[in-house]
Amino acid sequence: METIQTIILAIIQGLTEFLPISSSAHLILISQMSGWSDQGLLVDVALHFGTLLAVIYYFRSEIVQMFEPHHFSSTQTLLHSPIGIITIATVPIVIVGGLFNEFIEQNLRSPSIIAVASIFFGILLYFADLKHAKKDEVLQLTLLIGLLIGLSQILALIPGTSRSGITITMGLFLGLSRVEALKFSFMLAIPVIAAATILQSIELFVIQLTDINYLHLFLGVFISFIIAFLTIRWFIEFVNRIGMLPFVIYRIFLGLIILLTL
């Protein structure tokens, strides 16, 4: 694996992990189009770890507030606190992902599935944003809304769907503001990416790799961290001013290009 491959993959991961355009779809497609050999599990861990550090660092003050003592005063309070809602919302994808990960890897990574998912869920995002724009008032995040958004994350196991895209879509449909939907989607990414990184790290421990390119690992973590951090900051400002339409157009265009080249 060449250094340029690591750099390009890190940029793609950092850009697409938190945008509603599916990071897995872009990583699969770039590998197929370029003819590159698989980057390997170790680089995957590095890329995910970089984006994980980015979202934790960006929301560091909110994360610290989640662990304030008053959230733990009772079971009821904890359950309806931000950390309780995020925990409950994460359970569905962890269970389903753990049970069906092998099936998904073997059967759902084709370009045609990526294309259809990109178009379909892009259109769904458009209608969710349109619905939001017509609402006079927005709702606050509750345990039920969090759970429903968490259930929608299961669809993100299909390449081309986009984890951030489907959670933002569901948040908008349920009545959250754009900023609230984005922030909750980003916060949900923390346990999901952390779980994926831990599972991949366990696999690496079993494999017991010996030939490790530390330059590639450092580049992967550093570049994906920087790009992801800048993307989160830009995305929140952009969507608050303009909305989701540019991402909807991109998703439909990407899906059509893939279908036309099959």
Q: Which two tokens stand for residue 33?
A: 């189009």
Higher pLDDT residue, 232 or 212? 232
C-alpha closest to that of 171 among 154, 155, 189, 153: 153
Contacts of 83 (CB under 8 A, 6+ apart): 66, 67, 71
Q: What is the pLDDT of residue 252?
A: 95
Tell me: pLDDT of 221 over 70: yes
pLDDT single digits (tens) 125-175: 999 999 887 776 778 899 999 999 999 999 999 989 999 999 999 999 999
Q: Of the ranges 89-103, 108-122, 151-165, 209-223, which one carries the lowest mean pLDDT score?
A: 209-223
Reported pTM: 0.92
- From first CA to last CA, the distance across the chain in angstroms is 27
d(CA 178, CA 51): 22
Burial 62-95 (b: 16+ CB within 10 A, else e): ebeeeeeeebeeeeeeeebbbbbbbebbbebbbe
Q: What is the pLDDT of residue 186?
A: 96
Mean pLDDT, the chain, as a whole number? Answer: 89
Tell me: pLDDT of 201 over 90: no
